[in-house]
Amino acid sequence: MTPSPSDETGPSGAGPSGKKAPPSETRYVFVTGGVVSSLGKGIAAASLGVLLRERGLRVTLQKLDPYINVDPGTLSPLQHGEVFVTEDGAETDLDLGHYERFIDHNLSQDNNTTTGRIYRNVIDRERRGDYLGRTVQVIPHITDEIKRSIRVLAKGHDVVISEVGGTVGDIEGLPFLEAIRQFRQEVGARAFHIHLTLVPYIQAVGELKTKPTQHSVRELMQTGIQPAALVCRTEHPLGEEIRRKIAGFTNVDPAGVIEAIDVETIYEVPLQFRRQRLDDFVLARLGLEAPAPNLAVWKRMVRGIKGPSSGSVRIAVVGKYTELVDAYKSVEQALFHGGIRHDLDVGIDWIASEELEGERDPGFLAEYDGLLVPGGFGSRGIEGMIRAIGWARANGLPFLGICLGLQCAVIEFARNVAGLKGAHSFEFDRASPHPVICLMDEQRKVTTKGGTMRLGSYRARLLPGTAARRCYGADEITERHRHRYEVNNDYRELLAAAGLVFSATTTDGKLVEMIELADHPWFVASQSHPELKSRPTRAHPLFASFVEAAAIRRGGIEIPAAAASS
C-alpha cells in the first residue's frame, strides 16, 4: 500500500526505522529545465533529495554546468552568484550550497562538473596519447567523459540526482543532454528524467498558459529524452484540468505533473512535493521501495520560519556585491538559520559599501540590530566597510565579520585603536607603512594566484574564555576557507596589547583564524566562511550567537531558554 503523505516514522536525520537493505544498483535522476532560466532546478533537485534521504536512501546531488570555465572561481559574483567551497577545497556552483543545506551532507569536487573540466580532461588524455591516435570527438569522447563524471558518484549512494544547468535549446548544453540520453539507454529503468518548466499566468485574460511547457518538452524530446515527470513553476494552482492537458500533450503520466507554486520559503518545497507524492512516483518508476519519509523536524522548522514567535531583528550587510543577493546566498541563508534557531524573523538590508565612502554617515547603522561584513576580493568599497566596522565597534553594535570582514576589522582597529596610521592590507596598498594584512612568506614564492589561496577545510584551535569558544563549545573546530591574505604575524603582539583578542589560530599557531573584542557586547570575525556549513535544522553557532546578540540589543525580545545558544 502506498504510504500517506502524512505518515512519519523513525527519527529525523537518521532515516526511517525499518529501512530495507539498500538497492544493489545505483539509480539516477536527471533534472533539466526549459522556457526560462532561474526557475529553481537546484531547489527542485535538493527538495527531491530531502524526501529520498528521509526515506532512508543514501542520496547525493550533482551540478552539471555547461559553461567553459573549469570552475566558477574566476567568475564575477555579480554575474554568477557566490562561489560555494566544499570541504575538499573545490570552488563550485552556488547550487551545491542548496544541496548541502537541504540534505545536510557534505559534498566534494566530484559533485560539480563543467564543460571546461570535461574538455580539459579529454584534451589531457589526448595529449598523453590515451586515445591511441583516434580522432577525438564530442561523441563519444566528450559524452563518455560526462557519463564518467556521473558514474563516479555511484559508490556508496542509492540515488544520484544530477541537475543540468541552463535551459533546453542552449547550444552549450547539448553534449550534456546527449550524455544523459545515452545514460538512460545504458542503465534502462534505473534512470529517471525530470523536466522543470514554466506555466505562466496571463493577467489580461486571467488564464494559465501551457504552451511554453509543451514547446519546452517538445524541444527536449528532439534530443531523444522523454521526461518521466514535469515540475511546473506557477503563480497560481494548476488544477486537474490543466494537469491533464499538460500530461496529454507531453506524454507524461498525470501523476508525474507536479505543481511548483510560489511559496513563502524555499524550505517549504520538499513538503509541497511530498503532498503531491513526487517521491512515491519517482521510486515506483525506479523500482525502489522505502518507508515513508520522516518530515516532522522539517515541518516544525518550516512552521517556525512562517510564524516566528519571538519577534524580529534587522541586520545590515555591508558588502561589495550587494546588487545581487545570490552573491551572498550562503550568508543570507545562514542568517535565516540563526533566526530559525531562536524563533526570530531576520530582516536583511543589503548595503553597498561604496555608499559609505562618500557623504553617507555610518550613523544610520543605529537603525539596525547587527552589522555583518562578508567576504570579497579587490579594493572597491573597502574604506566603506572599514567605516561601518568602526562605527559598530565604537557604538556597541553586534558585529560579525567574514573573511574580508575580518581583515577590514583588523585594519580599522590598527588605525583607530592601536594608532598605526596608514595601516592597510598589502593587497590594497603595497606602500602602506603598516601592512597588517599580508601574504605569508611561503605564499610569495608562488607565482599563480590560485596557488596562493587557502581553500577548503582547515582546523583551528580556540582560545579558552573567549566568545568564540563559548559559541562553538569546543576546543578545536574545522571551517572552510577561500582567501589569499592573512593577518600579519609581525603585528600580532602590538594589536593584542591594544586589546584585539586573537580568539582562534591554526593548530600550529602560525595563522590567525578569528578575532574579537572583550569589551564589546558582541564583536567577532572569522577568516573562514562559516556560512558554508550552516543548515536550516542546525544553524551555525556563530550565526546563531550573532542573531541572539542582535535580539538582545533590540530589547523586548525574549529568547526561549531552549533556543538560547551556549
Q: Which residues are catalytic?
A: 403, 529, 531
- Residue 97 CA to residue 221 CA, distance in Å, equals 30
Residues contacting 194, CB < 8 A, separation 6+: 29, 30, 31, 32, 44, 48, 227, 228, 229, 230, 231, 282
Beta pairing class for 84-85 and 91-92: antiparallel
By residue count, the chain amounts to 566
557 vs 309: CA distance, rounded Å: 10
Q: How far is CA 467 from CA 98, 208, 388, 525, 542, in A?
A: 29, 54, 21, 11, 9
For residue 242, the 8-state DSSP code is: H
Tell me the CA distances in angstroms from 410 to 104, 377, 402, 492, 546, one per residue in order: 33, 16, 12, 10, 19
| Rg (alpha carbons) of the chain, rounded to whole number | 25
Query: Exposure of 433 by Cβ count < 10 A (0-12 exposed, 13-18 middle, 19+ buried)?
Result: exposed
Rounded distance between C-alpha atoms, residue 90 and residue 151, angstroms: 19
∠ at Cα 499 (497, 501), nearest 5°? 100
Determine phi and psi for 83, rounding to 5 degrees.
-95, 120
Q: How far apart are CA 447 and CA 443, in angstroms?
A: 9
Provide the 10 A C-beta neighbour count for residue 183: 20
Using omega within 30 degrees of 0 as the cis cutoff, is the peptide bond preceding 140 cis?
yes
Angle (nearest 5°) at CA 392 between 386 and 396: 155
Helices 329-341, 296-306: inter-axial angle, 10-degree rounding? 100
Please give the Cα distance from 469 to 320 (Å, whole number): 29
Question: What CA–CA distances, in Å, run from 148 to 43, 121, 124, 222, 235?
Answer: 25, 11, 15, 24, 38
Classify strands 454-462 and 201-202 as parallel, antiparallel or unpaired.
unpaired
Pull the grid cell for residue 247: 500530461
- Are 197 and 39 spatial neighbours (Cβ–Cβ below 8 Å)? yes
The type of residue at 153 is L
- CB-based contacts of 246: which residues, under 8 Å, 6+ apart? 199, 210, 213, 214, 230, 232, 238, 252, 257
Residue 346 near residue 401 (C-beta atoms within 8 A) = no
Query: Grid coordinates 537493505 are at which residue?
Result: 21
